[in-house]
Chain A
């Protein structure tokens, strides 16, 4: 059973960088694709991007200019950096896995609330 756990600051100042890490357990990090998905309070889910252990990444066109996803296979974790944040980036951030592009998100972390505020 794959388990995912997000961690990172719960409060980020406007214009700064939001950074989160997702630790993977119960599976090799090489076995799946790994995505970040967010959900602003009271709103719908928004996919941010994914990474594969080969280093392949794909990002949402609407966030591509501000997002970077990286992976540390030795620590079985992957990370999200979102630069130049505003209040609109306040959301619960989830990490999730899928076996291949085109497939479902089978495993999710519990989510981490990040608030952007001064």
Chain B
């Protein structure tokens, strides 16, 4: 089965840049979607198809996908960005895989 690995936690100083990675075999051949989840809430889409932002998501959120690594970048991190972030891919058109999730702490 296809496995996607995320770091358990990432810390970033207020106003600095945070990078959260998803590592998997040839992940660049797949579309990667990113979700933000705050405590007690359902996930919310922040990046779709590697690099696209849904309307309403601040432009400090960006994504990239190359080789075996997809990256969510949060530029100028704010206190309100503190949350869990999960990547999601479709292994095939019939099977969904989520990364294990990364807790972002804004210091």
Contact = CB atoms under 8 A, between A and B. Distances in A.
- Interface residues of B toward A: which range? 20 to 34
The 10 closest A-B CB pairs, nearest first, are A47-B96, A108-B42, A44-B101, A58-B94, A44-B100, A101-B93, A45-B98, A104-B33, A104-B48, A102-B90
Nearest to B89: A102
B45 A104 contact: yes
- Interface residues of A toward B: which range? 20 to 34
Given A45-B88, A101-B93, 5 more contacts: A43-B100, A45-B35, A58-B95, A61-B95, A104-B33
B64 to A, nearest CB: 17
B13 interface: no
A108 B95 contact: no
Name the prevailing secondary structure of the A interface residues. Answer: loop
A93 to B, nearest CB: 11
Contacts of A62: 1
B107 interface: no
A106 B55 CA distance: 12
Given A104-B33, A104-B48, A105-B88, A47 B43 contact: no
